[in-house]
Amino acid sequence: MITTLEVRDLFAGIGDKEILKGVNLAIRQGEMHAIMGPNGSGKSTLSNVIMGHPKYTVYSGDVLVNGESILGLRPDQRAAKGLFLGFQYPVEVPGVGLAGFLRNLVNAKRKQEGKGSMLVSEFQQMLSKQIKGLDMDQSFALRQLNTGFSGGEKKRAEVLQMAILKPSIAILDEPDSGLDVDALKSVAHAIRDLVGPELGVLVITHYQRILAHLEPQYVHVLIDGRVAKSGGSELARLVEEKGYDWVKKELP
C-alpha cells in the first residue's frame, strides 16, 4: 500500500496565537513536494505540528497517515508510522557518537515493528554502504553527533539519518539553510538520490535555488498560514523572479 500523509483543514498555533489557518495538503510515497513562503508564514510550524511537537496546539482539522489520525500519537509513534523530520537547525550533542546514535534509531524502529535488534556487524555494513552512497568519508561515522560539524555536514548527517531509517514520508525543514553553493548542490543531490517509489519528500524552503536541483513535482506557496497557490516547478521559478507580493494579491 502506498503511504499517504494528509493534512486536512488544519488550524494550529502556540497558545492563543493562531499560525496555521486551514492548511490542506496530501503527500504520497514517490512524490516530491516543496513549500515556499516568506518568514512567519507557518512553514516550520506545519512541520512541527505534523511530527507532534508539544509546544503547538491543534485547534481543529487533522493530520492523517493512510486515513488514520495521528494527532493523538507521540513523535516516536508518528515516526513508527513512517514519518521523518529533518531539522532546520540540528542540535549538537557532545559525547554521543553518530554511529551509536544511528544504531539506536534503527533498533528503536525495529522494536516498534516487533523485530529484534540488528547485529552490530550488519548495522556497520549498512552504515558503510549508505555513507558511501552519499559520497561521504567513512570517518564521518566516528564523529560526535553534529558536534563541530559545518552547516553542510549537519545537513548531510540529517540526510544520512533519512537513508538509514528509510521513512515513507520525509519532511525536510530548510535543508538549504546556511549552506554555500557547493554544499547546497551536494545535499540536494543526496536528497534526490534517495527519492523513489518508497519515499515521498516535502521540502520546506525560502528559495528556489535548492529546488532547481531537486525539481519537485509539486510546489505550494504558504502565505499567512494558508496554502495560497500550488503548481509545478515553474511556480518556484516565478516566486524567485517576482517575490511573494503577486501571490498575496491573488488571495481572496
Per-residue pLDDT tens for 171-216?
A: 999 888 777 888 888 888 888 888 889 999 999 998 788 898 898 9
What pLDDT is recorded for position 252? 65
Same-domain check for residues 85 and 173: yes
Higher pLDDT, 26 or 133: 26
246 within some domain:
no
How large a percentage of the chain has pLDDT more than 90? Answer: 54
Q: What is the DSSP string of 128-159?
A: HHHHHHTT--GGGGGSBTTTT--HHHHHHHHH
Burial of 159 (0-12, 13-18, 19+ CB in 10 A): buried
> Whole-prediction pTM value?
0.90
161 within some domain:
no
d(CA 173, CA 204): 5
Same-domain check for residues 85 and 100: no
The tens digit of pLDDT for each residue in 141-161 reads 889 988 888 888 888 888 899
Closest CA to 43 of 206, 229, 239: 206
156 within some domain:
no
How many domains does one find in the chain? 2
154 within some domain:
no
163 within some domain:
no
Same-domain check for residues 74 and 116: no
What pLDDT is recorded for position 208? 82
Higher pLDDT, 208 or 68: 68
> Which residue range(s) make up the domain with 46?
1-89+169-185+198-233
d(CA 150, CA 116): 35
Nine cell digits for residue 7: 493534512
137 within some domain:
yes
What pLDDT is recorded for position 176? 84
